[in-house]
Chains A and B, each alone.
Chain A
Amino acid sequence: MTAATLPTNMPRTLSGSMQRDRRRALVWSYVFLIVFVIFFLTPPVYMLITSLKTSAEISAASTPWWVFAPTLANYAEILTSPAYLTFFRNSALVSLLVVSITMLVSIPAAFALSRMRFWGSATLATGVFLTYLIPDTLLFIPLFKIFAFLHDWTGIEFINHWWVLVIIYPTLTVPFCTWIMIGYFSSIPKELDEAALIDGASYLQLLTRIFIPVALPGIIAATIFAFTVSWAQFLYPMAFTTSTDQLVLPVGIVTTLIKGDVFNWGQIMTGALLGAAPPLIIYAFLMDYYIAGLTAGATKG
């Protein structure tokens, strides 16, 4: 931007040297950017390379960084393996249910906290944000005990069922989604809801007819956040599920594809890459919303 404005209001000689400096800075920026892109993309690219190899080629002495005989055999095997498909189904079910619950809980809550001020609502908004900071690694042991206790009390077995994750995951998604929705709702001008209330709209209509449509970008960002968090969560399924048919993808790949000392790396990499695909696809198509959700937490707060 400055490069365009400088030559017009600067002496010719100075602008020449500054442009040279700028060009040199630009070249160096590209060089270092390429270095960092290589660092950041090596693992995923290496996953892809390995996933296209046969076991023979993986253990051969040829360069690990290139595929000489590409094959889709690993993909065919993974996508027909009943265990992997079960993991995928469990992951999809858990994530979709958690996203729905999160939205049903956090949109009304954010609406109430941002617009319908009531006793303690400001404190509650801060409190919600603070609970977002309590990490899963602090909660999994007491939660494990609580579910064991609930089993003794009600007779319902919670541990080792995939749906227990649907109960737990909202603790990861709801506080943050509520927080960013509060930010989006607060940015809607107050005149809009005053006008609607004067026209006789109820609060429910105000929410569904005005707030949700206007704050749709924020809702999409929060949905993406909730989905990626539930898709990637590793600790809770690791602690709460053990049977192969109850596992979700991350745990399934880590625990079942690695058997003893024999690592079938071609399949592990294929499974991991396919497991990473849904968030990557969402990111590829909805990058701006994804980034908006990431930055909203800190900048809107």
Chain B
Amino acid sequence: MTDRTAPSSRVPIARRKNSLRLWWRRKSTIAFAMTLPLLLIVVALVLYPSLYAFYLATLNKSMERFVGLGNFAFLFKRETFWMVVRQSIVFALSAVIFKALIGLIVAHLVHNVPAKGQRKWRGMLLIPWVIPPAMSTLAWLWLFDPSYSAFNWLLERAGGSAVPWLGDPYWARFAVILVNVWFGAPFFMIMYLAALKSVPEQLYEAASIDGANAWQKLWFITLPMMHNIIAITVLFSLIVTFANFDIVRVLTNGGPVDQTHVFATWAFRIGIESNDIPLGACVSLFMFPILALAAIFILRDVNQRTTEG
């Protein structure tokens, strides 16, 4: 970079001597040089691997022979695959819906209390998001422990019976969703709180004078004003939750009998642990449709903004 800045300091002389075009070209050369490391990282470590995944998915297990869509045909015939598809969709959709709902409720609660105390509440409520998920899921694993579960201890004291949190397929599915909601809801809360603060107070005052109740204010003022931020957080969260690995891996590792696997954990099991890289790549590619959908939405949004501005 230093050898490029040297001529740039002589730019005024160059501009006087030559045309403006040369100066412009030099400026864009410097700019390009400054973005080059970024480009290299993005192209070599993100774009190339994601295209390479498509190629890998068309090879046989020992990666010597091209099998076309053979891996996909093989997957479609396996019952586990359809179970993973179903579980990934149920997991992502229900987790995102509850995260968004809880986030919205908690953001409203924090927004309701006097401004002085808001910092303290917000600080406490964001903690699940700050702890690395692999570590906090260990705490959940311990809370769900089959013989020493602290939840079951409470349930039994309350007169209930012990719940096989991670032993029963349905409870295990519930558990991974619960932990995901616990981890992700604070993020929604923070986003919605920021959005709530940006809604002008006069709108609510005007609505109060017109006799609107709290639900009407929420429906006709708050939600329309937050529409953009809700859309973008739900979209982000859908991608991240759909691609979730940490929580399922630590909590159930896919069990019992593969019932809680999502695409990411199953791809890891097949691609890394069973050493079938092409089939693993094949499984992970099923996260692409949701990505493409998100990309279309975001690009449309960017285009709208550029045509407006």
Contact = CB atoms under 8 A, between A and B. Distances in A.
A139 B35 contact: no
A50 B125 CA distance: 22
Interface in B260-287: 263-264, 267-268, 271-272, 277, 280-281, 284-285, 287
B31 A118 contact: yes
A273 B115 CA distance: 31
A25 B272 CA distance: 53
Given A141-B277, A142-B50, A109 B34 contact: yes
Nearest to A197: B11
B127 A41 contact: yes
Contact of A144 (B46, B127, B271): B271
A141 B138 contact: no
Q: Which range contains the number of B residues in contact with the other chain?
A: 35 or more
Contacts of A168: 45
A134 B46 contact: yes
Nearest to B194: A295
Interface in B163-194: 182, 185-187, 190-191, 194
A216 to B, nearest CB: 19
Interface stretch (A67-75, A186-194, A226-234): A226-234
Interface size class of A (residues with CB under 8 A): 35 or more
Given A134-B291, A171-B41, A294-B187, A272 B31 contact: no
A202 interface: yes
Contacts of A235: 245-246, 264, 268
Contacts of B263: 137
Contacts of B150: 46, 64-65
Given A128-B42, A272-B138, A141 B267 contact: yes
Interface in B32-50: 32, 34-35, 37-39, 41-42, 45-50
Interface in A29-68: 29-30, 32-33, 36-37, 39-44, 46-47, 50, 58-59, 63-65
Contact of B42 (A127, A167, A283): A127
Given A105-B37, A118-B32, A168-B45, A133 B295 contact: yes
A95 to B, nearest CB: 11
Contacts of B205: 2
Q: Which of A30, A104, A135 has the most CB of B within 10 A?
A: A135
Interface string B113-134: 1110001011111111111111
Given A2-B201, A202-B8, A294-B190, A135 B142 contact: no
Contacts of B139: 43-44, 46-47, 269, 272
B106 interface: yes
B124 to A, nearest CB: 5
Contact of A279 (B31, B110, B115, B130): B130
Q: Which 5 A-B pairs rank lowest in CB-CB distance, beginning with the nearest?
A: A232-B132, A135-B243, A118-B28, A116-B31, A137-B264
Given A108-B35, A269-B138, 6 more contacts: A43-B143, A65-B154, A140-B284, A276-B130, A276-B131, A280-B130
